[in-house]
């Protein structure tokens, strides 16, 4: 049985293994080189410092997927916008783990008073696009040939979910 929980720092090695497999073997992350434990620790520390959650999917005590939200862009007026990420271990894909990891992200965004969640998805990643659409995300942009990996140009889709929050946005 797969359960979802808030990640702990001790999950970082398994999170790193999943992330590095995705970097090396897929176009879900537009990076070429596997990350180091120090890089993943810095990522974790930034999430904690900024107050953004990381969730893990666990089966039989093993992390089989993770998800997170974080700032969309650094400028102040984007403070009500976040970008999400969902990653599942290669041998666990197709089991519905992404569907389990998405609801806590959406709820966390609401609790953090966010107004919109954005997802940057490689245009060829039909499974991720369909996952996001099943939660109400709508395609809002297609950027052609913005990445280059595995000897080919990659198109990037942006999908967006607009939330009813915040009740009283402010400019500061």
The pTM (predicted TM-score) of the whole model is: 0.95
Tens of each residue's pLDDT in the chain, 172 residues: 999 999 999 999 999 999 999 999 999 999 999 999 999 999 999 999 999 999 999 999 999 999 999 999 999 999 999 999 999 999 999 999 999 999 999 999 999 999 999 999 999 999 999 999 999 999 999 999 999 999 999 999 999 999 998 888 998 7
Q: State the fold for domain 2-162.
A: Aminopeptidase (3.40.630)
Q: Please enumerate, as own/partner, the contacts of 86-89 that have beta carbons within 8 Å and a separation of 24 or more.
A: 86/128, 86/131, 87/18, 87/19, 87/22, 87/28, 88/18, 88/57, 88/64, 89/17, 89/18, 89/21, 89/63, 89/64, 89/65
In the chain, where the domains are located: 2-162
pLDDT at residue number 18: 98
pLDDT at residue number 9: 97
């Amino acid at each position: 049985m797969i359960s979802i929980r808030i990640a702990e720092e001790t999950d970082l090695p398994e999170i790193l293994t999943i992330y590095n497999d995705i970097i090396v073997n897929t176009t879900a992350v537009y990076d070429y080189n596997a990350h180091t434990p120090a890089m993943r620790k810095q990522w974790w520390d930034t999430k904690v410092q900024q107050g953004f959650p990381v969730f893990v999917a666990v089966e039989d005590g093993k992390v089989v997927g993770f998800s997170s939200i974080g700032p969309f862009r650094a400028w102040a007026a984007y403070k009500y916008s976040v970008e999400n990420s969902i990653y599942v271990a290669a041998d666990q894909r197709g089991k519905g783990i992404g569907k389990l990891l998405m609801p806590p992200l959406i709820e966390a965004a609401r609790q953090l008073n966010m107004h919109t969640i954005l997802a940057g998805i490689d245009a060829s990643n039909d499974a991720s696009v369909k996952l996001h659409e099943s939660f109400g995300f709508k395609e809002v942009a297609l950027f052609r040939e913005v990445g280059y990996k595995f000897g080919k140009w990659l198109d990037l889709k942006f999908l967006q979910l607009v939330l009813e929050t915040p009740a009283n946005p402010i400019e500061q």
